Amino acid sequence: MLFRSALVTGSSRGLGWAIAQALAGAGAHIVLNGRDAGRVGPRVDEAKKNGWSASTSIFDVTDGPAVADGIARIEKDHGPLDVLVNNAGIVIRKPTLETSDQDWQTVIDSDLTACFRLSREAARGMVKRKWGRIIMISSVMGTIARPTIASYVASKAGLHGLTRALGVELGPMGVNVNCIGPGFYPTEAN
Among 152, 155, 159, 177, the active-site one is 152
| Gap between the Cα atoms of 169 and 177, Å rounded | 10
Contact partners, residue 51, CB within 8 Å, separation at least 6: none
83: three-class secondary structure by DSSP = strand
| Gap between the Cα atoms of 101 and 158, Å rounded | 18
Query: Active site includes 152?
Result: yes
Half-sphere exposure of residue 24: CA atoms within 13 angstroms, side-chain side: 24
Longest dimension (CA), the chain: 50
DSSP codes joined into one string, 32-57: EEES-HHHHHHHHHHHHHTT--EEEE
Catalytic residues: 152
